[in-house]
Amino acid sequence: MKINVVHVAKLANLPLKKDEEKKFEKQLSEILNYFETLKEVDTKNVETTSQVTELENVVRDDESTLSLSQEEALSNVKNQHDGLFKVKAILTE
Amino acid sequence: MNNEPLTINYEPVIGLEVHVELKTKSKMFCSCSADYFGQKPNTHTCPVCLGSPGALPVPNGKAIDWCVMIGLALNCKIANFSKFDRKNYFYPDLPKGYQISQYDQPFCLKGFITLSNGKKIGITRVHMEEDTAKLTHQGENSLIDFNRSGVPLVEIVTEPDFENAKEVIEYLKKLQQIVRYLDVSDADMEKGNMRLEPNISLREITMNNELLTINNLPKYKVEVKNINSFRFAEKAIEYEIRRQTEILSENKTPVQETRGWDEDKQKTVSQRIKEEANDYRYFPEPDIPPIRFTQNQIRQLADQMPELPDAKLARLIKEYNLSKYDAEILTREKEMTDYFEEAVKVGKTFKINPKQIANTVINKKIDMNNILPAELVKNIVNFKKTDDIDENKLQEITDKVIKENQKAINDYKSGKVQVIGFLIGKVKQHFPTADSNQIKTALEKKLK
Amino acid sequence: MKLNELTIKEAKGGLKSKKFSSVELTKACLEQIKKHNKDLNAFITVTEKEALDSARKADDLASQDQVLEAKSLLGIPIALKDLFSTKGIKTTAASNVLKDYIPQYDAAVVKKIKDAGAIIIGKTNCDAWAHGSSGENSDFGPTKNPWDKEYVPGGSSSGSAVSVASDMCIASTGTDTGGSIRLPASFNNVVGLKPTYGRVSRYGIIAMASSLDSIGHFTKTVEDSALFFNVTAGQDKMDATTLPNPVEDFTKDLNKGIKGLKIGIPKEFVTSDLDNEAKEKFEETVKTFANLGAEIIEISLPYTEYGIAAYYIIQPSEVSSNLARYDGIRYGNDRSYFGDEAKRRIMLGTFTLSSGYYDAYYKKAMAVRTLIIKDFNDAFQKVDALISPVCPTLPWKLGEKINDPIKMYMSDVLTVTANLAGIPGLSLPIGFIDGLPVGMQILGPQLSEVKLFQIGYAYEQATQWRKQKPAL
């Protein structure tokens, strides 16, 4: 199974260098080939499992509690301005 | 060979996606306060709504209940089993790099709203998701405030059943009214707690005055964003219909894209973000167990719901003999109806006609916050100008009173003019809210 | 015996009878770290000052008997895998993306451990983002196996396993998503518990694969493991996937023995793919179980061979989504700082969830998962627990598998199915081959940890492999 590494890297927001593309394409294609074995398994009437706890209806009350302070929220960034996180704009127009 | 130009008529096909922000105390997946409007930036955040490493979501039970109520109010079927899913994409206002939303098993499905012309607008689905952070722009930078990140949003999607902007506006007003009646959202477009995105296309319906097959679906769809008032919605839709008609008349197909409404230029503008990158890779949210509703639970939620606008309207007309026009005004906002009905209750003891109260409330622009219903009634009672004394009845009663009180009449005629007060009193017994001057005038005429 | 060589039970006893103080105990561990961490690279962060402060406070509290009773880990130095958020203390996930990140909150389990009076001595090294089975994927250099420094210690909880094996601390925490506790435990001659999924809160622990991550720990003995589990197990309102079952005393059946218990051997786990020596060692172990009175029954788990494929689809899919938040905007560095293995898994997972491939990969794997769960459910109708080797091979040399991702993934073939099913597994030492430790795992149905400890304790008391120490 050949994987379009450039497309997938873009979807995954991962910057790849040109030499990395070939390397990953090879490795990922090998791994995907290994997955072919799953085709042998008859799952026609088998339900999917996404959670193993069998829990349902876990919700919380609508009560509000204290939040982090503005300082705490911003404590891990250098790029900030007036209490806001700062990032290079993504052009939309 | 037919060389005449084709005359094709187009019919708009419009669908609507509305987001309503719920006014819960806390956010959708964490206990930060959801009341973010006007707050200092980044003061209502926590590891969960900031998307910090290791944080996990826990859903707000009340928000889910309110979403179901909205679905019930829109005549939807409530799913017995539903779940949350992750919608994966990258944008600076989306801290986790995915939005927790609902994909194939939403809370509510297949409802409808009926417009005043009797037309039913299909509601495809009503589901829950979380809001993104607020982005503002400053030069070449974007600034992000996460106070809004994680606030509960209900998304209401219609079938493409609208044919014109007027229908869309009516639907929006009805939806806003319902949501305000339920008291689950302020649904204020200026404040951003109600947002809408119409999608607009045109399909061919006649060619050379012959009806084409009705199953003719449009070959494209244009989504319009950045609309923040009903007025602009109307303008944007009408603009789009004109723009698309022009393109189609040149035998071209409008591009399938997202456009933004430009308030200054009063037109829609193409947004240059490429749409093709949006493969959202939905998969079931592993951090949140699914939700299962019993019929009983749904019934309990339905029972908790207040009387909705349409039902209230019908009842007001029937119960108080109001005109449709008056009833519509009164029911526009639940507060006004409640005030009116309270005043009617008080007014009963003074035999005041509900119609009179309705009139006063509607026409006198009553300040409901400062004048209690009981006070309003008092004012009506004291109010001199009364025009619902039937003139014939007045004549009848004055004749009767004169006949029954000959001694008083003789006194009056012999100069004791103050006796008129006694006679006015007798007549007034039949018209307790009447204007005494009117009765006096009628008596004096007869006693001349 | 040096203080840092004590078990939790022994340390508790010594603190209670005032044979030594927590400060002395903590200093002994810190000494050991100073001596050997340069070589072994088990710790990324050592919190010496904070640990000594806590130890002093613990000694004050220890003078009050009721506090000593109530706080079951009072004064005991514990290390935390560097995926566990610690307020005010750097938490890196062993990745350059988070090399300067300081959390503003404690993970739920960290809070529990602190409330129990434990001394946090440092954050241990691991494969970055828990992506690995050898400990070589750390952006801070590989951890070494203390039994032979040319060999891998196993991963991803490499530093945590090594810190206990080399007596740098009394116990440590880890995570097990596909074997990341059980495998390094078996490579280091220590006890590792992978609890039932949902038994311990994941809140505050840097997520790898949300439906597979199990929060566990390393100890020197089985009893210690049960004592530690008494602290960490329990429902948490900050994690909606935690189980509501009340927490019992997990030591209660330790001494019951295993006479009459039915122990299953999954035949698909002991095939010719096992190294001969590993197979032999395991067969000796089975004999020991039989001698202790257990009934040995052969069991089949037919879908075992599809476990790796299903796991390596589901796990990277969830990883690709969980790692999407690392964009450098609110904390940490941007995505160019990800290492190769992280990039591989993110891309693999993005692909398997993408349009056109979701059904063939992710959805298919979720269905196979159901079949694997059924395998275990059927097995546990017939037996009380299963035992098996943990790794098909003995520990390998550093660098040996690093360039062959699939070969590396195959070391998980005996561990991943337990994660897919959410069942608990206890890994314990069964001996040595050429000086390198070998282990086994005891697997049970969901919420059967009491029984796993019971079985493990019986074997441990009969064999005492733990008494051997690595020559550091």
B·C CB contacts under 8 A = 102
Known catalytic residues of C are: 81, 156, 180
Q: What percent of chain B has pLDDT over 90?
A: 66
Burial class (CB in 10 A: 0-12, 13-18, 19+), B399: exposed
pLDDT tens per residue, range C298-333: 999 999 999 999 999 999 999 999 999 999 999 999
Q: Mutation test of the interface with chain A: which of C330, C346, C376, choosing the one with the most A Cβ atoms within 10 A?
A: C330
Q: Answer yes or no: is pLDDT of B217 > 80.
A: no
CA B229 – CA B173 distance, rounded (Å)? 11
pLDDT tens per residue, range B56-109: 999 999 999 999 999 999 999 999 999 999 999 999 999 999 999 999 999 999
Closest residue of B to C211, CA-based?
B286
DSSP string of B331-350, one letter each residue: HSSHHHHHHHHHHHHHHHTT
| CATH architecture entry for A1-40 | Orthogonal Bundle (1.10)
Tell me, yes or no, whether C138 lies in a domain: yes
Chunked into runs of 10 residues, chain A (93 residues) has average pLDDT values of 91 93 94 95 96 98 96 96 92 49
CA B98 – CA C472 distance, rounded (Å)? 47
* Beta-carbon separation of A70 and B272 below 8 A: no
B102: Cα within 13 Å, side-chain hemisphere: 27
What's the pLDDT at A93? 39
CA distance B229 to chain A (A): 22
CA distance B230 to chain C (A): 35
β-pair partners for B60: A60
Report the amino acid identity of residue B144: I
Here the CATH number for the domain that contains residue C169 is 3.90.1300.10
Of residues C107, C101, C105, C113, the one with CA closest to residue C77: C113
Q: Answer yes or no: is pLDDT of B383 > 60.
A: yes
Tell me, yes or no, whether C472 lies in a domain: no
| Reported pTM | 0.91
pLDDT mean over B134-155: 96
Q: Mutation test of the interface with chain C: which of B43, B45, B56, choosing the one with the most C Cβ atoms within 10 A?
A: B56
Instruction: Give chain B positions within 8 Å (CB) of C355.
Output: 279, 281
CA angle, residues C227, C229, C231, in degrees to nearest 5: 85
Please report the residues numbered 38 through 57 in chain A whose beta carbons come closer than 8 angstroms to any beta carbon of chain C: 38, 40-41, 43, 46-53, 55
Closest residue of C to B90, CA-based?
C324
Domains and CATH numbers, chain B: 14-302 (no CATH), 307-384 (no CATH), 391-447 (1.10.10)
Is A3 in CB contact (< 8 Å) with chain C? yes
For chain A, the domains span 1-40
Q: What is the mean pLDDT of chain C?
A: 97
Instruction: Give chain A positions within 8 Å (CB) of B286.
Output: 50-51
CA distance C210 to chain B (A): 6
CA distance B81 to chain C (A): 17
- Number of residues that make up chain C: 472
Instruction: Give chain B positions within 8 Å (CB) of A55.
Output: 289
With a CB cutoff of 8 Å and minimum separation 6, the contacts of A49 are C366, C367, C369, C370, C373
Tell me, yes or no, whether C306 lies in a domain: yes
Choice among B401-405, C78-82, C457-461 with the minimum mean pLDDT: B401-405
Structure tokens at C298: 């052969």
Q: What are phi and psi of B112, to 5 degrees?
A: -165, 160
In this complex, which of B33, B140, B281 lies closest to A89 when CB atoms are compared? B140
Q: Mutation test of the interface with chain B: which of C123, C200, C238, choosing the one with the most B Cβ atoms within 10 A?
A: C238
In this complex, which of B50, B53, B88 lies closest to C98 when CB atoms are compared? B53
Can you give the residue range of the structural domain that contains C418?
Answer: 3-467
Instruction: Give chain A positions within 8 Å (CB) of C101.
Output: 76
Total domains present in chain C: 1
Q: Answer yes or no: is pLDDT of B1 > 60.
A: no
DSSP string of C293-335, one letter each residue: TPEEEEE--GGGGGHHHHHHHHHHHHHHHHGGG-SSSSSS--G
